[in-house]
Amino acid sequence: MKCRHCEAELKLPLIDLGSAPPSNAYLTSETLHASEKHFPLRVLVCTECWLVQTEDYADADELFSSDYAYFSSFSSTWLNHAKQYIADMTQYFSLSSSSHVVEVAANDGYLLQYAKASGIPCLGIEPTESTANAARAIGIDIVQEFFGVQLAKQLVEQGKQADLTAANNVLAHVPDINDFVAGFSTLLKPAGVATFEFPHLLRLVSENQFDTVYHEHYSYLSLIAVKSIFERNGLKVFDVEELTTHGGSLRVYAQRIDTGMREQTQNVAKIIECEIEAGMSNIEFYSGFQAKANKVKNDLLVFLIEAQKAGKTVAGYGAAAKGNTLLNYAGIRPDVLPYVVDRNPAKQDKFLPGSRIPILTEEALKQNKPDYVLILPWNLHDEVAEQLSYIREWGGQFVTSVPSLKVG
């Protein structure tokens, strides 16, 4: 396989998680007894541009179906993050009723609702029907297509160039990363700004966040790689922030190479230097990741089996993509984890892909009073622990398994 960005031959492996169905391919009672389509889940490193990427097995339309069930608005942490983003960008770039904001991967309108409430004209790009309809239901104008140069040109012709574009946790989701990024340099006004948020590969590897790997994430990104990809496709990075979201992310600010006038801040060189010092431009940095993932898998299996032997009950919380990666890699099934609960009605009364563990409402916890609740979206631990604090009333404890097993 050749690199999706620079087309160099890929030879360096990062991790092999076996095979699994797409992480958001939830089953219904009707499809439960049918076979599932599994794809290998193997990640390779380009030693030329340092883009880390999955091997090509599945097309985007097989991963992002019309009933895609990830809705951003079911996380209060993420809603607060989105609200603050609009407030900050409005201040930084003097956005007003004469500005135009475009979000690519607008999901259910979780972010643009705050732009709309502030009187800033906005447009969302969202290819999946279920989330696009949810955004429309709250009054967000949505173009239901995948984004790239062709769509960007159409929007420009319609007079919809952007003063600000937002792309939160989508840069990793695109198979043709060059076309995707080039679309932003086409869509931006001459002085426009594009922001991108994505999990930082440095944190992913150093903190053993291997469950962030799944088919829908085609790419795993460092600033070293992103800077190279952007410059090839008409964008220049001028600032970067470190965020706590998704276990440690970067927010990159970019402008058009041909017309952008903003000076590059010291933050860019600082993060690049940090990545170089960590060894991200050396092969050695990427070795040993498989062994650390195997330890997480084994420790969780031992915990679940020992809990069962001791007569203890365990429930899961959060029917999240990262949880599906972990459960399928570990081979966990309903015999040791009988159910998970989730707040999202689009997931309730369905079954997790691969593991086929049933997804129930939160009421199941209150009725069954499990001894342990395994929080699968560990990055939301504090939010979930506060939401489910009542399990302490019967002596229940929370468990997370990434980056290492913790009970308490």
> Is residue 125 domain-shared with residue 261, that is, in the same domain?
yes
Q: In which domain, by residue range, is 225 found? A: 72-286
**Does 45 fall in a domain?**
no
> Is residue 235 domain-shared with residue 277, that is, in the same domain?
yes
**Does 59 fall in a domain?**
no
Return the pLDDT at 60: 56
Return the pLDDT at 63: 58
**Does 49 fall in a domain?**
no
> Is residue 145 domain-shared with residue 216, that is, in the same domain?
yes
> Is residue 280 domain-shared with residue 362, that is, in the same domain?
no
Number of domains the chain is built from:
2
Return the pLDDT at 70: 64
**Does 97 fall in a domain?**
yes
Residues of the chain with pLDDT below 70 are 57-70, 72-74
Query: Which of 286, 311, 334 finishes a domain?
Result: 286
Return the pLDDT at 246: 83
Percent of the chain clearing pLDDT 90 (strictly above): 91
Question: What CATH code is carried by the domain that includes residue 386?
Answer: 3.40.50.720
This model's pTM is above 0.85: yes
> Is residue 337 domain-shared with residue 358, that is, in the same domain?
yes
Question: What CATH code is carried by the domain that includes residue 279?
Answer: 3.40.50.150
Query: Which of 253, 270, 286 finishes a domain?
Result: 286
Q: What is the 3-state secondary structure (H, E, C) of the chain?
A: CECCCCCCECCEEEEEEEEECCCCCCECCCCCCCCCCCEEEEEEECCCCCCEEECCCCCHHHHCCCCCCCCHHHCHHHHHHHHHHHHHHHHHHCCCCCCCEEEECCCCCCCHHHHHHCCCCEEEECCCHHHHHHHHHCCCCEECCCCCHHHHHHHHHCCCCEEEEEEECCHHHCCCHHHHHHHHHHHEEEEEEEEEEEEEHHHHHHCCCHHHCCCCCCEEECHHHHHHHHHHCCEEEEEEEEECHHHCEEEEEEEECCCCCCCCCHHHHHHHHHHHHHCCCCHHHHCCHHHHHHHHHHHHHHHHHHHHHCCCCEEEECCCHHHHHHHHHHCCCCCCCCCEECCCCCCCCCECCCCCCEEECCHHHHHHCCCEEEECCHHHHHHHHHHCHHHHHHCCEEEECCCCCEEC
Return the pLDDT at 64: 56
> Is residue 259 domain-shared with residue 323, that is, in the same domain?
no
Query: Which of 231, 257, 286 finishes a domain?
Result: 286
> Is residue 168 domain-shared with residue 112, that is, in the same domain?
yes
